[in-house]
Structure 1
Amino acid sequence: MAILLYELVGRDAQRPFSPHCWKVRMALSHKGLDFETVPVPFTEIPTIEGGVTKIVPLIRDGDRLVADSFAIAQYLDEAYPDRPTLFGGPGGVALSRFVESWSQRTIHPVVTSFAVRDIHDFLAPVDQAYFREDRERKLGARLEEVQEGREGRVDGFLKAIAPLRALLERQPFVGGEGPLFADYIVFGAFQWLRVASSFQPLPEGDALSQWFERCLDLYGQAGRKVPAAA
């Protein structure tokens, strides 16, 4: 029986965009596991599996429900130890925790500032109302004000992620010669931006851009099957 992955979508159910859900999509593909996706907009998350979760991604594997992308990755490695590892051992789990913490504090806020109004426009009307109220309360400003002037923030962003760019000049993946869950953590953030917004800050030919293209090509071009925003 295939694993079910509940994942966040906008008005187009074929365009999942959540960075956390993309981590799990890639992790399932990495493990070579059969899975089916269940598209869920923001305002329907409380209805999933009888209200068991307030967040996605959520997976159902038989009678087991697991929420949170990192917890799901750990579960997959523990439940399917005969499949390719996502972490490469306990040390990899700890290092991936650092990558997750760094990504959510360094990349995610900037992606939000680059694309928060674009994400709003990507959603169905009922979700737009929820998203605007929730994000403007959290950000303390209108979505349009947050996104305004994004071109002027690109250089600062590229400097902030310079350690990642330097690493990828020396090796093809964050995980080394092949990808690990740490790669999918960072990939999810840039895929979020790619799917939801036409604004793309990465320079063509940059080591990070080349890494992102390699990630898009993984697992039969799984990342490319969802088109970039026009």
Structure 2
Amino acid sequence: MTIIFYDIPSTLPGNAWSPNTWKARYCLNFKGIPYRTEWLEYPDIAGHCKKFGIAPTSVNADGSPKYTLPAIHDPSTGVYLADSFAIAEYLEKTYPDTPRLFPGNSAGLQATIDAALHPRSAAFFRSAREIDFGMPLDDVLPKGDEAVTEWAKFRDDLGKVDAWYAKSGGPFLMGSAVSWADFAVAGSLVWMRTVWGKESTEWKDIASWQGGRWKMLFENLTQYETVA
């Protein structure tokens, strides 16, 4: 049966853009599991999750439950589930005859990759969410010296991830085998490519950093970028 994948729409080419939902979408494409996308606007996410018993993934500043995407519904098991890492673990357990996201039982190790990427990428993503709500790019991103400083910090953060890749001896974090961690890295970057565009100065900067590491990563993952 076909999994229903809940994602956040946009007005950008290809529609899909959210970093966290891309992580789960990469996993579905990689495993070759049939799915279809249902698009939920931001104001509808909480109500949809509550309706189908999808648990909150965190809490808001006021202590109330926070409901986020991605989420899935698997009709073959009846499961509703949110959170990209939880979805990856579920797919790994439920569909054992598909390509492995966590080779060698490496789920715990790979989870640290996503955590390390999150803070700096999240800062840019918050800006991108405002863009999606209709604010001009120039109105929400840092400017002047602050922009230069934040961009340099982001490059340095990616440099730390690049060091992990360098130790793997292959194009992926697990060497020659693509895994969840690669999708976590790509998911944290793909929305920047979508928002700014492949020909933008910003994306060309990222693609050139660390000896072209990120350009090569995306070239290796292109086959998993289908939006079904």
Question: TM > 0.5 between the two?
Answer: yes
- 1:55 deviation in Å? 1.4
The 1:13–1:165 alpha-carbon spacing in structure 2 relative to 1, beyond 3 Å, is: closer
- Could you tell me whether the CA contact under 8 Å between 1:46 and 1:52 is conserved in 2? no
Identify the residue that residue 120 of structure 1 maps to in structure 2.
Answer: 130
Say whether 1:218 aligns with 2:223.
Answer: yes
Matches of 1:155 and 1:58 in 2, distance apart? 33
What is the SS of the residue equivalent to 1:206?
Answer: helix
Matches of 1:152 and 1:163 in 2, distance apart? 17
Identify the residue that residue 99 of structure 1 maps to in structure 2.
Answer: 113
The residue correspondences of 1:28-177 to structure 2 (distance < 5 A) are 28-48=28-48, 50=51, 52-53=53-54, 54-62=67-75, 63-90=78-105, 92-109=106-123, 111-112=124-125, 116=127, 118-123=128-133, 144=139, 146-149=141-144, 150-169=147-166, 170-177=169-176
Identify the residue that residue 136 of structure 1 maps to in structure 2.
Answer: none
Identify the residue that residue 64 of structure 2 maps to in structure 1.
Answer: none
Identify the residue that residue 182 of structure 1 maps to in structure 2.
Answer: 181
Identify the residue that residue 2 of structure 1 maps to in structure 2.
Answer: 2
Matches of 1:58 and 1:36 in 2, distance apart? 12
Matches of 1:146 and 1:195 in 2, distance apart? 16
What is the SS of the residue equivalent to 1:25?
Answer: helix
TM-score, normalization: structure 2? 0.76
Alignment deviations for residues 41-72 of structure 1 (CA, whole Å, 9 cap, x no partner) = 11111232625342111100011111111111
- 1:175 deviation in Å? 2.5
Matches of 1:14 and 1:77 in 2, distance apart? 27
The 1:34–1:157 alpha-carbon spacing in structure 2 relative to 1, beyond 3 Å, is: same
- 1:12 deviation in Å? 5.6
Matches of 1:104 and 1:58 in 2, distance apart? 19
| Letter matched to residue 223 of structure 2 | L
Matches of 1:210 and 1:158 in 2, distance apart? 16
- Could you tell me whether the CA contact under 8 Å between 1:122 and 1:196 is conserved in 2? no
Matches of 2:184 and 2:96 in 1, distance apart? 20
TM-score, normalization: structure 1? 0.76
- 1:151 deviation in Å? 4.3
- Could you tell me whether the CA contact under 8 Å between 2:30 and 2:99 is conserved in 1? yes
- 1:30 deviation in Å? 1.3
- Tell me how large the CA RMSD over aligned residues is: 2.6
Alignment deviations for residues 106-129 of structure 1 (CA, whole Å, 9 cap, x no partner) = 4333x34xx71x542333x6xx7x
- 1:82 deviation in Å? 1.1
In structure 1, stretches of 5+ residues that fail to align are 129-142
Alignment deviations for residues 105-157 of structure 1 (CA, whole Å, 9 cap, x no partner) = 34333x34xx71x542333x6xx7xxxxxxxxxxxxxx936532334533332
What is the SS of the residue equivalent to 1:161?
Answer: helix
Q: Count residues with an aligned counterpart.
A: 200
Matches of 1:6 and 1:191 in 2, distance apart? 18
The 1:14–1:52 alpha-carbon spacing in structure 2 relative to 1, beyond 3 Å, is: farther
